[in-house]
Structure 1
């Protein structure tokens, strides 16, 4: 596993529960966390940010996770188990997922030479409009 880093892949999805067309959930954000505290903090910050806009039941769900569920989530992440945090606001279900992941570092481009084909491309010529 040379060069690989352990971490967590985090995503935030929403789903319209009243949509008759049964559209798939919509991805709204993703985050690569390099520790369990960083991963659950991403969810906690999002929940704290949106709680003022949530209906009372969803707000209660959010604060329940922040006060009680977060510790369970952190323990599960430390055991390399995937976790899900879900709240329902009206007809919308909001789900945060956190999964253990292995990250492969990208090559650093400053010291690397571009492949020879990179020099085959010419800048786009600007076309002027006829007068």
Structure 2
């Protein structure tokens, strides 16, 4: 069995600021390095920046030029990071958290618990 591996769990949430609705998970990503984690956010910000209003676009580019460096340093210290933009009445939040990825057990492996035989694919 493989060993646990350090990495980062990344999520993107959206929130409608005009309602009391809960935030909605829009995307998630498992990264195995700090550069891979902050690159995921950077690609998203570069992709949506042309559609953002001027203030939100400026916030995005400020993070891309300055905030990304601070984010990378924090990730290398195993600190969680958040990037948030507000566009009109929508708040977008990207989170990056250090995690330890546990290896998955193979169903054909030896010594699996007896409950694994209860699973029947549809």
Q: Structures share a fold, TM > 0.5?
A: yes
Distance 1:91 1:4, change over 3 A: same
Instruction: Quote how far apart the aligned CAs of 1:4 are.
Output: 0.8
In structure 1, the gaps of 5 or more residues are 124-131
The Cα offsets for residues 32-73 of structure 1, whole Å up to 9 and x where unpaired, read as 100100000000001011111111111000000000000000
Report what 2:14 is aligned to. 14
TM-score between both structures, scaled by the size of structure 2: 0.87
Q: Per the alignment, in what secondary structure is the counterpart of residue 102 of structure 1?
A: strand
Equivalents in 1 of 2:56, 2:98: separation in Å?
A: 27
Distance 1:88 1:5, change over 3 A: same
Task: State which structure, 1 or 2, has the greater radius of gyration over its C-alpha atoms.
Answer: 1
Distance 1:90 1:106, change over 3 A: same
Equivalents in 1 of 2:117, 2:102: separation in Å?
A: 25
Q: How many residues align?
A: 117
Distance 1:116 1:78, change over 3 A: closer
Cα RMSD after superposing both structures? 2.1
Report what 1:26 is aligned to. 24
Instruction: Quote how far apart the aligned CAs of 1:122 are.
Output: 9.4
Equivalents in 2 of 1:32, 1:24: separation in Å?
A: 23
In structure 2, the gaps of 5 or more residues are none
